[in-house]
């Protein structure tokens, strides 16, 4: 086994494909560990969980086959992990945690746990696992009430902080989260599963660098990022230059059935191998908790771009280099604090319909028929009359969704077609 400090030969094309496979396998193994060891049924049954691997700059180098809205958010969070805990600040054994939608997250129940990865003493990357926790506090069981007064009423906000320092857990932080949850055992169990997932990813990524050498693997990662960019640009170039627009709308503002429909407008611009998304004309944010933050909307845009390339391109940040966007601040697609956001998926799905509607005009052969345009999360909570112990159940219901032609989003139909109600009494 090579020392991390020793030079190694650059990867040839076959070696690059092996590196791509090993990185993807690390992310997928993280995902399996997470799904198999979590407590909450929204993870174990609905698969509402996602893992990714990043390089030392926080760029995504591999993603598990999982939920697109998480994967796009993790692209943003990876850069934040690297910015706040770079080499010299990160320590072996660290863990980081965040859920703040206004600091790169998506909504409060989606908590991301991350860990730095070292090859001997050299920081070589990060791993992250994000899951939808069954309850994170707030005004209603399940933490997804559409009628929350503002974002501060939706549950516990976690800025990007250390969950462990050099291997020593911040037990106070875990106790704080558990004390604010209606399902404290579940939140402890799911956090433990996230930690196990990250530690698994650490071992796999460190082994790749140990065997290949730091310089050579980093050079290979650069090549894979460039390769993904080339394939994405080739896919975009096959679309005729032009502007392609679409307008969709929510039935109302989420609180008043007699309110005017809420408009979502997008224009996709194709210029050579560049693609731009402009949401000018979209209505302003609303009082209901159906607003989408910037990172959630970006996840939809990244999903649309990955639909263009299919399985050919590696799942890394190179796919998103050709992408530009305009998300007007204070709108449904880029809300401003303290707008509530925890029930944002109804809007995120409708943003997806608008984006794919415009994409269908540009590249109809790459786009499936529209789905139901929304997902309904039905939280159920109360206390067991026999024991007095609280429970939280979550039901997810949606209509059929056509299967998208790419591995990146292949689990989306599974996610949105599930209907279940559970009553975990842990």
CB crowding 57-81: b at 16 or more within 10 Å, else e: bbbbbbbbbbbbbbbbbbbbbbbbb
pLDDT at position 311, please?
Answer: 83
- Residue 420: which pLDDT band, with cuts at 50, 70 and 90? very low
Report if residue 34 sits inside a domain. Answer: yes
Give the separation between CA 144 and CA 142, rounded to whole angstroms.
Answer: 6
Q: If you ran DSSP here, which 8-state letter would residue 288 be given?
A: S
CB 159 within 8 A of CB 173: no
Could you report the per-residue pLDDT of 364-409, keeping only the tens digit for each?
Answer: 988 887 877 777 677 888 888 898 888 888 777 766 656 544 433 3
Whether 366 is in a domain gets the answer no
> CA 198, CA 307: separation in Å to the nearest integer?
28
Q: 415 in a domain, yes or no?
A: no
Asked whether residue 295 is assigned to any structural domain, the reply reads no
pLDDT tens-digit readout, 270-318: 999 999 999 999 999 999 999 999 999 999 999 999 988 888 899 999 9
Q: Is the pLDDT of residue 230 over 60?
A: yes
Note the Cα 6 to chain centre separation in Å.
35
| pLDDT at position 4 | 61
Which whole number is the average pLDDT over 188-195? 98
Residue 391 lies in a domain: no
**What residues make up the domain containing 56?**
13-226
Statement: the pTM of the whole predicted model exceeds 0.85: yes
d(CA 244, CA 235): 16
The angle that helices 184-212 and 214-237 make with each other, rounded to 10 degrees, is 110
Overall domain count for the chain: 1
Which phi and psi (to 5°) does residue 153 adopt?
-90, 0
pLDDT of res. 401: 59
Using CA atoms, how far apart are residues 331 and 354, in angstroms rounded to an integer?
15
The C-alpha atoms of residue 41 and residue 56 are separated, in whole angstroms, by: 33
Mean pLDDT, range 118-140, rounded to an integer: 96
The strand pair at 110-119 and 95-98 is best described as antiparallel
The sign of the torsion formed by the CA atoms of 103, 104, 107, 113 equals: negative
Burial class for 148, CB neighbours closer than 10 Å (0-12, 13-18, 19+): buried
β-sheet bridge partners, residue 40: none
Nearest Cα neighbor of 105 from 89, 127, 128, 87 is 128
Digit-coded pLDDT (tens) for 49-95: 999 999 999 999 999 988 888 888 999 999 999 999 999 999 999 99
| More confident of the two residues 258 and 403 | 258
User: Average per-residue pLDDT in the chain?
Assistant: 90
pLDDT greater than 50 at residue 328: yes
Quote the percentage of the chain above a pLDDT of 70: 91
pLDDT at 319 over 90: yes
Q: Does 332 reside within a domain?
A: no
| Residue 365 within any structural domain of the chain | no
At 1 the three-state DSSP class reads: coil
Close Cβ partners of 280 (under 8 Å, ≥ 6 residues apart)? 265, 267, 326, 328
Question: Within a domain: residue 260?
Answer: no
Quick one: DSSP state of residue 140?
Answer: S
CA gap 7, 131 in Å, rounded: 38
> What's the confidence (pLDDT) of residue 413?
34
C-alpha to C-alpha distance for 67 and 352, rounded to whole angstroms: 14
Under DSSP, is residue 128 helix (H, G, I), strand (E, B) or coil? Answer: strand
Over the stretch 171-184, which tens digit does the pLDDT of each residue have?
A: 999 999 999 999 99
Helices 214-237 and 13-37 meet at what angle, rounded to 10? 90
Residue 182, Cα to own-chain centre: how many angstroms?
24
How far is it, in rounded angstroms, from Cα 118 to Cα 55? 11
Provide the percentage of residues in the chain whose pLDDT is more than 90.
Answer: 75
φ and ψ of 264, to 5 deg: -125, 120
């Amino acid at each position: 086994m090579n020392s991390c400090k020793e030079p190694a030969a650059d990867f040839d094309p076959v070696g690059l494909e092996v590196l791509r496979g090993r990185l993807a396998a690390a992310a997928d193994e993280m995902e399996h560990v997470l799904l198999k060891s979590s407590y909450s049924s929204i993870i174990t049954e609905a698969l509402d969980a996602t893992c990714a691997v990043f390089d030392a700059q926080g760029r995504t180098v591999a993603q598990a086959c999982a939920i697109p809205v998480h994967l796009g958010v993790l692209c943003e969070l990876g850069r934040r992990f690297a910015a706040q805990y770079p080499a010299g600040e990160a320590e072996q054994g660290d863990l980081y945690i965040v859920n703040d939608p206004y600091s790169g997250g998506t909504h409060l129940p989606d908590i991301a746990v991350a860990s730095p990865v070292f090859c001997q003493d050299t920081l070589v990357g990060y791993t992250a696992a994000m899951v939808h926790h069954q309850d994170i506090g707030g005004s209603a069981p399940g933490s997804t009430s559409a009628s929350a007064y503002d974002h501060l009423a939706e549950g516990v906000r976690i800025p990007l902080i250390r969950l462990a320092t050099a291997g020593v857990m911040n037990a106070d932080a875990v106790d704080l989260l558990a004390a604010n949850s209606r399902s404290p055992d579940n939140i402890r169990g799911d956090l433990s599963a996230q930690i196990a997932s990250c530690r698994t990813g650490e071992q796999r990524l460190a082994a790749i660098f140990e065997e290949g050498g730091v310089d050579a693997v980093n050079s290979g990662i650069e090549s894979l990022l460039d390769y993904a960019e080339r394939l994405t640009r080739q896919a975009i170039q096959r679309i005729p230059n032009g502007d392609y627009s679409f307008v969709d709308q929510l039935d109302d503002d989420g609180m008043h059935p007699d309110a005017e429909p809420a408009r979502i407008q997008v224009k996709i611009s194709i210029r050579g191998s560049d693609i731009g998304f402009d949401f000018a004309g979209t209505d302003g944010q609303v009082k209901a908790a159906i607003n989408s933050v910037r990172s959630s909307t970006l996840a939809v845009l990244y999903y649309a771009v990955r639909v263009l390339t299919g399985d050919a391109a590696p799942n890394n940040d190179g796919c998103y280099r050709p992408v530009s966007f305009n998300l007007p601040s204070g709108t449904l697609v880029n809300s401003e604090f303290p707008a509530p956001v925890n029930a944002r998926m109804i809007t995120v799905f409708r943003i997806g319909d608008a984006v794919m509607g415009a994409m269908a005009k540009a590249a109809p052969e790459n786009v499936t028929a529209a789905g139901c345009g929304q997902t309904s999360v039905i939280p159920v909570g109360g206390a067991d009359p026999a024991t007095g112990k609280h429970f939280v159940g979550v039901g997810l219901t949606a209509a059929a969704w056509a299967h998208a032609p790419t591995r990146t989003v292949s689990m989306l139909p599974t996610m949105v077609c599930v209907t279940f109600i559970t009553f975990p009494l842990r």
